Amino acid sequence: MATRKQNERRFPNWDELPYGGRRYYEIKLGKVAGYARYVKQVDANEITISIVQEVYDDAGRLIAIHQKYPVDTGHQDVPIEEE
């Protein structure tokens, strides 16, 4: 289990949640295009609730979600709405 200090070091960004928990996130650029956003949500005691990878295309549209914890669901495509 990571401490608050370890989570802050690993994830440069976070949001405070209303119930005392936090949503940590980190953005990593893709090798060719787009980026991935890794999101870790913890409760007030810094116990991990979920870890999700969000994949965005080069236009900034969410194209896939991969829940890694508590259950690894694999990549799930998100339908892209035409503008």
User: How far is it, in rounded angstroms, from Cα 83 to Cα 27?
Assistant: 25
Q: How confident is the model at residue 49 (pLDDT cuts 50, 70, 90)?
A: very high
- What would the two tokens of residue 55 be? 């994949």
Per-residue model confidence as pLDDT tens digits over 50-60: 999 999 999 89
* H or E, element range at 50: strand 48-56
pLDDT at 79: 86
Q: Edge-to-edge strand order for the sheet containing 48-56? A: 13-16, 22-29, 35-42, 48-56, 62-69, 74-77
Domain locations in the chain as residue ranges: 4-77
User: How far is it, in rounded angstroms, from Cα 82 to Cα 47?
Assistant: 39
pLDDT at 83: 60
Total-model pTM: 0.88
> Is pLDDT above 70 for 67?
yes
